[in-house]
Amino acid sequence: MSRAQLLAAGAAQGNFGFAAPHGLVAGVDEAGRGPLAGPVYAAAVILNPAQPIAGLADSKTLDAATRARLDAEIRARALAWATGSASVQEIDQLNILRATLLAMQRAVAGLRVAPRYVLVDGNQCPALSFPVVSVIKGDARYASISAASILAKVARDRVMAELDRSYPGYGFAEHKGYGTAQHLHALRNLGVTPEHRCSFAPVRDCMTGAAHGRASVAGGSLLHVPAPAALGRPARNRMPGTTGRT
């Protein structure tokens, strides 16, 4: 099937209408490529033609309360959904693009209903066993991608709230790991935690500064604040970094 036919199938099922003639379409999106800390998340969603969900939109345009409400509706009404993640260690080992594509692969693999086609937000496609096409600004054009963007964002925000409790003082619950002035100040004064992406320049610069005595690092460790003994992790099923249901 051509790119145009794939997009037409996605539009029929996922562009806020529900009558895909060519089989089930999964929308895929990510959350957390840009932050300095925390995992990157992805979600895959196959919407249910019999249970349309009002209000789906790019997660970045929605407030937290609306995202939470839609997150619950998507989980309850979608034919299938799954989230996948790639850890900070995988981000540092692979780079953020490859780690994001890995999270997308895990999300699609977690679907318990196999799609015939996959639409991915952005300009890069993960390697999948299904026909896949990337769509620039797809989270504003296709309902299934919008739904995926919401699930990925809400799932990652929950993880960052857990990290905020485990590493007080960094403000993870507020900035979600992004490089805000508050976060950069905490990095300089509290040091780098195991949940920071050492391959990202601001974190790497902080570590270099600590090595030369220009920045303080908590806990007497040159590079890292020690990890808590029992840090909460997101629930997973079947393969690392994946959650989902039908």
Write the single-letter amino acid at 182. Q
Task: Assign 132 to helix, strand or coil.
Answer: strand
For 187-233, what is each residue's pLDDT tens digit? 999 999 999 999 999 999 998 876 555 443 443 343 455 556 444 33
Ranges of each domain in the chain: 3-162+233-245, 166-220
Beta strand extents in the chain (DSSP E only)? 25-31, 40-46, 80-86, 117-121, 132-135, 242-245
For 109-151, what is each residue's pLDDT tens digit? 999 999 999 999 999 999 999 999 999 999 999 999 999 999 9
Which has the closest alpha carbon to 213: 186, 188, 196? 188
Cβ neighbours for 73, distance < 8 A, ≥ 6 positions apart: 53
Q: Is the pTM of this model over 0.75?
A: yes
- Listed range (38-52, 53-67, 191-205, 227-241) with the worst mean pLDDT: 227-241
Q: Which CATH architecture has domain 3-162+233-245?
A: 2-Layer Sandwich (3.30)
